[in-house]
Amino acid sequence: MSHFTHFGEFLLVWFGILASNALYGNGTVTCPSGRNLTTSEGILMSPGYNETHYPDSAVCIWVITAPLDWQVKLIIKFVDLEYCNMCSCDYVEVRDGTEASGPLVGRYCEAERTTVYSEGRHMWVKFKSDIANEGRGFLANFTFIKLRKKKPVILKANRTSQFITSSKNPTVCGSERQCTWVISAPEGFQVQLTTESFVFLSCHGSYVEIKDGPTCSSPMIGKFCGNEKPPLEICSLGNSLWISFKYNSTRDLEMNRFELMYRATQANIRPQRKFFDEPVINSDHWKSMAVGIACTSFFLFVILVACFLKIASSRRFAGLERTTSQIELNPTESSIVESNFSNDMTESLLE
């Protein structure tokens, strides 16, 4: 009797496992919804993987939780799903956290191997299929890795051009998937940063961040990804810049790349005069500007004097012409007076 009891329990467990993976009814499949996986490693797969095609209208959700100070590493080994633009038909979706509203890590529907990491200790994974055109499905495995904070790389800037480039090797930036550089120039110099190339096809947690100073708490210059590219040239106010490259998956390393050139340049800070009795210290630049202003003022003065002399000469010439015309008119006027006088005398004699 005990043998039948054990056999019956075995059958119940077996059918329970099958039912938890897929419950068929009216053409739909119910997968684990919100199942919390806490084992140090495990496997995720679509229903019917490696046996038949996955069913229509399937929705499977897993939540993977690592211990404190650990993170989840998910390796997607195989993907054979119906492909649509932007993976809108069938897909595997990975997010940070425990909810569907968490930050998107990536959405996958093509046959490619990729590795993704959680930002913290939780990862949310969803498999979804539509009503038609199934494939073989997907297969992934997960494990937990210890978070290790990687120290920034200290770079010394000089007058020689040097470069910072992205790497396709995921071990370069450590388990946090973040590379940080601090560029320092000598006192009295600034850091000049030039963008040689910047290609970011995705902004899903991947970006380059630049700050004006030596730490992550320094003033923000900008966060750049996708179409938002860094300026062609950036110059620090002080003598240091803080640069960070953050990514979410190995696919981001393949899709996104950049190259930044840096060097030290002489600080060009304009002197200020605080008190009127203090001497003004002019650099060569300001001396050349003062000479230029003096020369320009002299030429303007010469032009004004020439114009004044021209106007005075014109007025004097006009006065001489009027005087001459008056002299020429006087004899005529006297002859007219004499003529009138003689006529008056003749008329008086006739009377």
CA distance 43 to 59: 17
CA distance 332 to 334: 5
Among 266, 298, 324, which residue terminates a domain? Answer: 266
CATH of the domain at 201: 2.60.120.290
3-state DSSP call for residue 23?
A: strand
Q: Which range among 28-32, 53-57, 143-147, 265-269 shows the weakest confidence by mean pLDDT?
A: 28-32
Among 244, 266, 288, which residue terminates a domain? Answer: 266
To which residue do tokens 């992205």 refer? Answer: 166
Q: Determine the structural domain holding residue 178 and report its residue range.
A: 153-266
Whether residue 137 is contained in a domain is answered as yes
CA distance 29 to 127: 12
Could you give the number of structural domains in the chain? 2
Say what the pTM is. 0.48
118 pLDDT more than 70: yes
Pairing, β 35-37 against β 58-65: parallel
pLDDT value, residue 31:
64
The predicted-structure confidence for 176-201, as pLDDT tens digits, reads as follows 788 899 999 999 999 999 999 999 88
